[in-house]
């Protein structure tokens, strides 16, 4: 079993990276975990979109 972790600041970038990885993957996907984190610095909000793909 292996894992691949993606971390992007925009959800569309994460979507593109995950789709690219999955389109080239030649093994079975066991699970995909998704998480969003938000941090505030003053008046600015920083987003972090991440995904972990567990595969064989």
Distances, alpha carbon 39 to alpha carbons 6, 24, 34, 47, 48, in Å:
18, 33, 17, 7, 8
Please state the domain count of the chain: 1
What's the CATH number where 18 sits? 3.30.1660
pLDDT tens digit string along 7-54?
Answer: 999 999 999 999 999 999 999 999 999 999 999 999 999 999 999 999
Half-sphere exposure of 12 (CA within 13 A, CB side): 0
Asked if residue 30 lies in contact with residue 55, where contact means CB atoms within 8 angstroms, the answer is: yes
Residue 41 φ then ψ, to 5°: -125, 100
For residue 13, the model assigns a pLDDT of 97
Q: Which domain holds residue 19?
A: 2-55
- For residue 43, the model assigns a pLDDT of 92
pLDDT for position 7: 97
CA distance 47 to 23: 26
pLDDT at site 23: 97
Question: What was the pLDDT predicted at 32?
Answer: 98
**Whole-number pLDDT of residue 45:** 94
């Amino acid at each position: 079993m292996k894992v691949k972790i993606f971390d992007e600041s925009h959800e569309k970038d994460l979507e593109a990276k995950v789709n690219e990885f999955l389109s080239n993957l030649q093994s079975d996907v066991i699970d995909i975990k998704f998480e969003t984190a938000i941090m505030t610095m003053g008046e600015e909000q920083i987003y972090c979109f991440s995904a972990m793909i567990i595969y064989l």
